Chain A
Amino acid sequence: MRWFGPHLKIAIGVALVAGMAFVALFADWLAPHDPYAQNLMLRLRPPVWADRGSWAYPLGTDNFGRDLLSRLIHGSRLSIAVGMLAMAVALTIGTALGLLAGYLGGRVEQVIMRFADAYQAIPEILLAIVIVAVFGGGITVLILVLGFAGWETYTRVVFNLTRSLRERPFVEAAIASGAGGRYIMARHILPQMVPILTVIATLQVAQLILQETALSFLGLGLPPPTATWGNILAEGRDRLLVAPWIANLAGGAIILLVLGVNLLGNGLRETLDPKRADRS
């Protein structure tokens, strides 16, 4: 089974992700209709391959007569944007804290790492629920909730790497030649971690997209009528008997994107970090 190696995984992953990114970027041109235009005369039209389907609405329409294909195309934007931005939040906070803890050591390390341990014991869904309960849903709230839930993975990895890199000769040489802590962290330590952080960040984006769609599905994400995949799936759930395609097409869109990101991340891990690929 050697042929299903990292290169094939990366190729499939890149194809899926690039396809979705293309759709998201050119959503305005690709979507055949306005995703928010309601037409009650055209409610719950089936997709083109079903009996009453037509090419005017290739994937059918929803309960308000909105074109499902256009809503799915626009939904890709939000999922990708929220996933990437939340990852950036988690990556920035987590890496900064990990670098500080690993480079400074001592009491700073104790405080940061114990905090990370305690934080990990708290289910992120609880934080999300409290925040949404008080502030309501919105794109900024959503990105921050997801970003603040995922930082401690980076902290732990960056901390361990920084601690071992600190002892390496090239860092000692930099210290001896008078470089300051901030310079060493930015120029000598951080670049060493780019491969492993890329892998973790990619795999995290997949998880974040799933969490975003789950929060939307629960009604804790962006409020309807916003076209998110989670919202479309939630609306489709209430029409399973008459219009099962709504929920299933939204679910299919989610799994294609997340599978692409996961394959890309796994492939990258096997190429960039072959020694650790068998673990974690």
Chain B
Amino acid sequence: MRYLLRRLLLVPIPLLLVVAFVFVVLRLTGDPVAIYLGLDATPEQEALLRAELHLDEPIPVQFGYFLWDLLQGDFGTSIQFKTAAMDIVFERLQATLVLLSLGLTLAIVLGVLAGIACAVWKDRLPDFAISILAVAGQSMPSFWLGILLIQFFALELGWLPTSGRGGWEHLVLPTVTLATFLVPNFVLVTRISVLETTREQFVTTARARGAGAGRALWLHVLPNAINPVVSLVGLQLGRLMGGAVVTETIFAWPGVGRLMVSAIFQRDVPIVIASVFIVAVTIVVANLLVDLLQAAIDPRIRMR
């Protein structure tokens, strides 16, 4: 319980950092009005926005207003879509979450299985082959992988669509691209964690009491080796989001990542701020869930 409370207290800090960062960057560039309105704005529009953004107040007060607006979900009106920026971002968030959860699940399943295989056959052919593939995977630019998959499965064989959103077949290539980007780290962490846990005394004890190699692996080693893998999920969330931005762009997947990138080209600052903030909240909440899951799996964490 104390762990839960202490962990909950840490939630607002990264969010405040993001908000302060966005605020500073917006103010650093001089006149936010120029950024919001672009070059062809009339003086009347400028004056109106200046009052609306409270730019005549001292900086700390301005930050207060900025924070207050964000807390109410008021990110301003999108320049491209002419509606509230938050509504548009929420609409796109669902598509991103579908892609992220599928990609992450596939990466964890593949990565953990391959990592176990490496540990079981340490220094033999499977370990060697999988480790080489993992280093190659770490060196692979995910956008090129996506393009190779499109060339082969969509253009050459015509089995799957090149891009867009629709049935399950639209999900295959983006999910595989995103998962491949994450798998190598899961392989390496699982391999080492399983190898280290195998050396623990309770495993030797279990073996001495007659447990077979398979029983020792599944019942004694894996439950104790899984925690570093769970914490890797937390550490990978940021990379996962970066991968999602790239994957959505390649496959024209209508998620937040693609929205953010196109909003930059349209100079649609309210959309940029709204998506950055909402994605940051999603990541921080996901991080919290990962930490709580870890505490649930491993009582040693709750004791700290």
Q: List A residues at the B interface (Cβ < 8 Å).
A: 1-2, 4, 114, 117-127, 129-135, 206, 210-211, 213-214, 217-220, 230, 233, 236-237, 240-241, 244, 247-248, 250-251, 254-255, 258-259, 262-263, 266, 278-280
Contact = CB atoms under 8 A, between A and B. Distances in A.
B124 A123 contact: no
B117 interface: no
The 10 closest A-B pairs by CB, nearest first: A251-B144, A123-B238, A125-B242, A121-B14, A259-B139, A1-B128, A258-B139, A123-B241, A118-B13, A118-B14
Contacts of A263: 135
B151 interface: yes
A114 B136 contact: no
Interface residues of B, number: 60
B175 interface: no
B123 A1 contact: yes
Give the interface SS of chain A, mostly helix, strand, loop or mixed.
helix
Contact of A125 (B10, B192, B238, B250): B238
Interface string B4-22: 0000001001100110011
A121 B287 contact: yes
B129 to A, nearest CB: 9
Contact of B25 (A130, A251, A278, A280): A130
A129 B135 contact: no
B17 A219 contact: no
B296 interface: no
A124 B238 contact: yes
B29 A262 contact: no
Contacts of A259: 135-136, 139
18 contacts: A1-B128, A4-B128, A121-B283, A121-B287, A122-B18, A125-B241, A126-B280, A129-B272, A130-B22, A130-B276, A134-B26, A210-B139, A218-B245, A237-B250, A241-B155, A262-B135, A266-B135, A279-B192
Contact of A118 (B17, B28, B147, B237): B17
Contact of B261 (A1, A121, A220, A266): A220
Nearest to A262: B139
A135 B24 CA distance: 12
B224 interface: no
Contacts of B18: 122, 126
A135 B29 contact: yes
A47 B231 CA distance: 46
B278 to A, nearest CB: 10
A126 B265 contact: no
Nearest to A258: B139
A251 B250 CA distance: 14
A34 B148 CA distance: 29
B172 interface: no
A2 B280 CA distance: 44
A124 B124 CA distance: 38
A255 B144 contact: yes
B246 interface: yes
Interface string B181-209: 00000000000100110000000000000
Contacts of B142: 214
B201 to A, nearest CB: 19
B62 interface: no
Contacts of A123: 237-239, 241-242, 279-280, 283
Contact of A213 (B123, B141, B196): B141
B272 A133 contact: yes
A233 B144 contact: yes
B140 interface: yes
Contacts of A213: 141, 143
B141 A251 contact: yes
A218 B136 contact: no
A134 B143 contact: no
B147 A233 contact: yes
B141 A258 contact: yes
Nearest to B193: A279
Interface string B127-157: 1100010011011111110011011000100
Given A1-B124, A233-B143, A241-B155, A122 B263 contact: no
B301 interface: no
Contacts of A130: 21-22, 25, 272-273, 276
A240 B135 contact: no
A142 to B, nearest CB: 14
Given A124-B242, A233-B143, A233-B144, A2 B136 contact: no
Contacts of B196: 278-279
B21 A127 contact: yes
Contacts of A241: 155
A128 B138 CA distance: 21
Nearest to A121: B14
A148 to B, nearest CB: 10
